[in-house]
Structure 1
Amino acid sequence: MDEQTEELRDIFMEVSDEGTVTESQEADRGSLTGGDDADRIAAVIDQMRERYEFATDLDADALETVVRGYFDGRTDSDLAADLDVSRDTVARARLDLHLIRDRDREAPFDLDSLRDLADASTAEAATELGVSDSTVRRYRRVLDAEAESRRVSKRFYSAFTDAIPDADLSEAMTQEAVEDGLDDATDGMETNVSF
């Protein structure tokens, strides 16, 4: 202890009825930043509902369950069982909330081909790509969710991660990072070049 600290300790001991200077410390267990903020999650969902037309009629509590489940790495099937809805309903709700999984992009065709067919009808795109109409609709929903998210610089996704303290950590441990567009920009580049 330095001289000033010792003097402060002595003063404290004189004016206080306490027999010790130190306070016992209890560390909270769990998240490093405390609990999550359910009100913030609900507010983000409300903002999104005001801005976008949702494909499902799930209530706010169910949508919050989808958000938390996504960041906990739970599957759409698990969440569907908890909510007593179809897996497709959970997937649509997740896309409404701009929560896109890497496997959502695993189409049986190149997604750029579907982007090129943006003006084509579902039936025309399905014929061109050699898949069913439902497959085209599914991947168009994914592309639409990605486009909406990019238009707002992934603001809603970031707001969810801010409201759920361990979201970034959980997501990193449960799924691959969100695509950032660099893959397309560097596709076909030579990386092992010697000068």
Structure 2
Amino acid sequence: MDEKTEELRDIFLDTTGGDTVTERQEEGHGSLASDPDVEGRLAELVGRMRERYEFASDLADEDLVRLVRLYFDGTDDDAIADALGVPPDAVFTARMDLHLVRESDREAPFDLSRLRSLYVDDVPLDERAAELDAEEETVARYSEVVAADARSTRANDRFRDEFAELLAEQDLKGGHTEDAREDGLREAAEDIETNVSF
């Protein structure tokens, strides 16, 4: 040990009162460990959206949080409706309020880009239906999709992305990282060549 190292060691001992440099870390670090209240953060995000936009849905915030969770779990509207005890149409309306548009929502029986133009030009619903040669009820439903997409785009898809990030965090905290680590170790171990001679 050279003179400089000895000086540093003495400073360390004086400062810490101990002679061990490392200690076992019991708690995790980073945002995942320090922010366990994903449920509260989801509710806060729903509340922010309700303040910013005029919701058509009359579902309570707790139900909207459950809807968000089920949506990101890949649950369809019928199953979400059963879980919440509401009609599937109520789930659709709530999803549009929350900018949770499925790709299947955009599969219209007419050119959706044409409807977007009519919607942006503020053409009345009956005229949109006549222009698209479709039932008013059908055009109204796809108009909700167009409106939700427009609101989400204006917000840079921020709310949808935040929902996804929060739920991804919870998945990580729920042990998926442990599974991934074990799988990775198993794969790495399988690739090791053992060359032991006695």
Q: TM-score, normalised by structure 1?
A: 0.67
Moved over 6 A (4+): none
Task: Quickly say closer, same or farther: Cα 1:58–1:157, change in 2 above 3 A.
Answer: same
- Whichever residue aligns with residue 118 of structure 2, its letter is L
> Structure 1, residues 99-124: CA drift from partner, whole Å, max 9, x if none?
11000000000111112222321111
Equivalent in the alignment of 2:12: none
Equivalent in the alignment of 2:84: 83
| Separation (CA, whole Å) in 2 of partners of 1:111 and 1:168 | 35
Task: Quickly say closer, same or farther: Cα 1:130–1:75, change in 2 above 3 A.
Answer: same
Q: 1:132 aligned to 2:135? A: yes
| Separation (CA, whole Å) in 2 of partners of 1:109 and 1:36 | 43
- Whichever residue aligns with residue 150 of structure 1, its letter is T
Equivalent pairs counted in the alignment come to 153
- Could you say which structure has the greater relative contact order, defined with CA pairs below 8 angstroms and 6 or more residues apart? 1
Equivalent in the alignment of 2:39: 38
Displacement of 1:136 after TM fit? 0.8
Match of 2:150 among 147, 150, 154: 147
| Separation (CA, whole Å) in 2 of partners of 1:116 and 1:57 | 29
Structure (1 or 2) with the greater helix fraction: 2
Displacement of 1:168 after TM fit? 9.8
- Whichever residue aligns with residue 137 of structure 2, its letter is S
| Separation (CA, whole Å) in 1 of partners of 2:171 and 2:98 | 17
After the TM superposition, which residues 1-195 of structure 1 pair with which residues of structure 2 at under 5 Å, given as runs? 37-118=38-119, 119-165=122-168
Extract unaligned runs of 5+ from structure 2.
Answer: 1-18, 173-198
Task: Quickly say closer, same or farther: Cα 1:167–1:91, change in 2 above 3 A.
Answer: farther
Identity among equivalent positions (%) equals 44
Taking only aligned residues, the RMSD between alpha carbons, in angstroms, comes to: 3.0
Q: TM-score, normalised by structure 2?
A: 0.67
User: Partner of 2:91: helix, strand, or coil?
Assistant: helix
User: Partner of 1:117: helix, strand, or coil?
Assistant: helix
| Structure having the higher Rg | 2
**1:36–1:163 Cα contact (<8 Å) kept:** no
